[in-house]
Every structure is written in structure tokens, then in C-alpha cells.
A and B are shown apart, each in its own frame.
Chain A
Amino acid sequence: MKIATVLLRSAAVIALAGAVFAGAAEAKTLRWSYQGDATTMDPYGLNETFTLGFQGNIYEPLVGYDAKLQPVPMLAEKWENPEPTKWVFHLRKGVTFHDGSPFTADDVIFSWKRTLTEGSDMKGYGAKAKEIRKIDDHTVEVITPTPNPILEREWSLFYIMSKTWSEMNNTTEATNVKGSNQGNHANRAANGTGPFVLTERQPDSKTVLKRFPNYWDKSIKTNVDEVVFTPVSQPATRVAALMSGELDVIQPVPVQDWERLEQTKGVKPLTGAEARAIFVSFDQVRDELKYSDVKGKNPFKDVRVRAAFVHAVNLEAINKQIMRGSAVPLGTLIAPEVNGFDKSFGAPYPYDPEKSKKLLAEAGYPNGFTVTMDCPNDRYVNDEKVCQAVAGMLAKVGVKIDLLAQTKGKYFGKVLAQAGYDTSFYMLGWTPSSIDSHNSLLNLAGCRNKETQSGLFNLGGYCNPKVDELTTKIGAETDQAKRNAMIKEAWEIVRADYGYMPLHAQPMSWGVREGVQVVQRADDVLDLRSAVVP
């Protein structure tokens, strides 16, 4: 007994010494670059995929995503949904924050309250719970305002902060741009439970993370000790830096550069399908289009015109020539990775320009008409080029498109709700953050309603009460089979209505140095827990 203990101890000491020695011999550094910076370190500062994904290496949610975007236990070991509006999360024991303080139920409740503070951009996440009760130090009970069968998915980006740390550093409210909260500590510093500790932060220039030695999950794959993150906005510069060996991982790589990366020794492209669907749509609400030569009526109210547009666009050609075969052409508004996708409505509409011409003639536009198309030029993969191609194809059936491609700030400023949906014809992309159809149905296909927040990103105002009815039911249905059947029904209605012109699921496109292993998740997030450098 005694001998065994001694043996065990010395083994541990040797192992520890070995680890220390290995660390001293060669610290493994991962040099990583993205096209922009993580905007803030405050986990409730900005609801944006990249920023939250980056923070996910420092902070952790109760339930996270694995490589296949399936829920995995993080700070909650297990969870159940005993009643439709009640969830119970059993918290992991023995977890400490980077500053050494223990993780408890108080931190969960504090974090939830913080998401609802003034500067928070994550209020939508906080609003998923009506109340959180502490059962004991490691159990919490969440009461949702309505039945929510996928709360654990919807909270996958709701990170837990330390209550004591936040109070000590006067950062109990989310980073705010005005008032007394100016130098908000959480914006520049971080204290999570994740595998990496923020050690240096120079916005837009350099951010350094170091491995957290006391991380609770000893089984994670990564061998990285230090991460140096540098945003590089020019795609050519980013690709050049990877090829010249200055970087280990870059995101994104322009699709046209894949071949070059494949041919260059020492680097390779890493590609996969993203859960983001790209689509085009029409103003179906106004009685006269704002930007068109058709006066006195709105041609897009006629389903034949919408159908003519949809059939005039050759998705295969766009995929081949502009996306270099890397996209997945779609007939719906969700990518195949999203829960509820089905080939029955997901396959592209057939390309048939003759039919388009006929439909346009039937609808009373034998010579087509002119309409302005709004398009971002730095948001989605080759967005402006795709819009140009769509315009070119529509020109072939007689529709003249005036293309207005702008930087994302100006583009969103024009087309989104706060500018009154100031567009007649536009392109948009959407990733449902829960990787579930309900989010897309609600935001994109629901009739616009300020009260219920339905159709908030339905910029063309497509509306079919049957879809709304189904969406509401889907939101509360807990039986997965029934739920998926309703999802299918809803998407099929949208398709039959030609409510949208779906284009494709865009590819993810990263570049890595030979020997570097990273897992590419369909939400385009790089999870450092699985990053291995040679």
C-alpha cells in the first residue's frame, strides 16, 4: 500500500518533470490569422460569430458544440428538460477560472444577469430564460418563458463569467460605449474557464493566448502552449504570409487560391461546407418598388415573376466559375448541416431560362424590366462576384439589374429593419446560431412582426400565415420526429411560393501549414482545443 503510493507519487513527479522539461525545451506556438479582429473580449459585447468563436477558447458555455456541432457537456456535466418550460443543469465540479477562483452556480446566475445589462449585445440569449434558480452550488434550474426544446443549443455561445472577478474589476455590466463604463475591464482582459488564458491584447494588431495549466478537461487534443493571433484584412497579404511560412492557420482563403495552396509545398487548403446559406430575395410588400422602372405596381407580388427570376439563374455555373465548385447549390434557406434539412426541398430549382422568359411574358413583362440589386462586397465568400453573375444571368432573360455593391456597414445600414428595409432586390446570408431550422424559419420566412420579433431579417417581407403557424408549433414541439416533419412542411411551402431565390451554402475555406491539425466546424469557428502543431 505504502509502496504503491510512493511509486505513484514518484511517477507523477517524473511525469510532471517530463512535462515541464518538454515545455521548456520547445514551447509550441500557433500563429493564426483571420480577416478581422475579434472585436471585443467581453463575451456579451458583440453577437458575431467570429468574435464569439474566438472567445470560446477563453470562456466556456454550459453546453458547447463538438466538431460535428452536436451538443457536448462543458461547464454542465449533464442536463435535463423535465417540464416544457424547465431545464436543470448539473454543473461540473472542481472547475476553476483562470484567476483560481472556483466555478459555481452563482457565476451562472451572475452571467445570465449580465447578458441583460445595458451594453449587452447578447440580450436575446438572456431572454431565453425567465428565471434561473440556484438549487445548490452545482445545480441550477432554468425557467423559460415558453417551452424551448433546444435551449442547450441556443445557449452554446452564452459564456460563463466569474462573479467575483467581475465585481472586483468593476465590470458587472456588459461593455458599453458611453458613460461611466468606458474603460470596461472585460473588454480588454478576460477570465474564463477555458483552455487558454488571454495574456496580451492589442486590438486589430496582436492578441496572445497562453495555455491554462489547470484546465479541467485533461483529455483535449491540443499540444499548443501559445497562440499568437494577428488579423490581416487583405486576402492577398494573408495568403502570402501563409505561403511564406509566417503563419500556421489563416481564415478565410479566397476560393480561387485553393489550387495555388495545393501546389505550394508546405501549405494546404482546408475546406468544408459552412452552415451559412446565401440567398437573394424580392420586396413583396410595397405596392410600388422603390428602385425599379415599373411604376404603379410591384412585379414581385406576382409569383410568376419570382419564379421567372429563380429559374433564370444557373446555380451550377455560379458554383463552378465563381465558387470553384466549392459551394453547395441550394433550393432552400438552410444549409445541409442545419437540423431539418431535407433533399426534398433542399435541391436547387431547375435552371430553365426559356421558362423564365415565358413566365415573364405571361406576367406582362415580355421585355423584362429594370430593378436595383443591393449587395454587400465584403461579407460573404465572393459576394459581389456572385451578385454580378446573377445580374448577368437575369440580363439574358431581359431583366436589367443595376447592381449596388457596398461595404457591409453601408449595405446593412440600407437594407436592414432600422432603415425600413430600403431595398427592392437584395442578397443576404444566414447561419442559424442554434444550427436548427426554427431560427431560420422565424427570422427569414416568418411574416414581419415587431412584437414577436418574427421575420426580423425577412427583408423582402415574404409572408404566408401557414408558415408562421408551423414555426410557432415547431418552437414548442419537443418530439423530434414530429418537429422535423413540420419543419419539412414549412420549407416546402416557402419553396412552392418562390418566396426566395436560394443560391448556395457557402464553403469554409481555411489555409494551414503542413502538419498543423485543426478541426473545421461548420459554423466556421476554430476551436483551439483540437489544434495540434508539429
Chain B
Amino acid sequence: MARTLINVPPTAKRGEVVEIKTLISHPMETGFRTGPDGALIPRDIIHRFTCTYNGEEVFSADLFPAITANPFITFTTVATESGELALSWTDDKGQTQTETAKITVE
């Protein structure tokens, strides 16, 4: 559905705090703007972001209409074991995009 850029360190030491950076292309239409015909443009924003680490949720966020187009979300987590991070964005149209990234813990 959309282009994403994900920055997860490929390797980390056990117990290390790692920073995860994500960027997704999305118009984040607020629902407050009017189109050329004067009618409101329906709201279409990503309203939910979650990140699971080997199936366990480590970060989640609710997003609101004041958030910019192409939202950039960055957060930290503790590298516990090698595995997979699954990042999911859900928008008002009900579409969910999930991207995964591998991390190796030494």
C-alpha cells in the first residue's frame, strides 16, 4: 500500500537499547480541509502504529489529525534475543501495512 523506510540495527548486544526509526508515505488527510468544490475532504490518517518483537508488543502509538503527512516514528527497545520486529500501520480506510525487520543479538 505505501512505501516505507525502516532503520533497525542489524546486530546488537544482548541488553543493549536499540533505536528503531520508521517512515511511511501517507497523505494523513486531516478531515478539516475543503476541496475545490467546497466540500470537506474525508479524514484519512494512520491512526494506529504498533511494533511487536518476536510476537510481543514493545511499542504502540495512537496518531491524530495534527500529525504530518509521511509520519516519522522513532522509538527504542531493549535487544533481548535474535528475531523479528513486525511494524504495523493502520489507517482510516482500514488498510493495515506490516513490514518486518530482522535483528541479530550477540
A and B held together in a complex: no
Interface residues of A (CB under 8 A from B): none
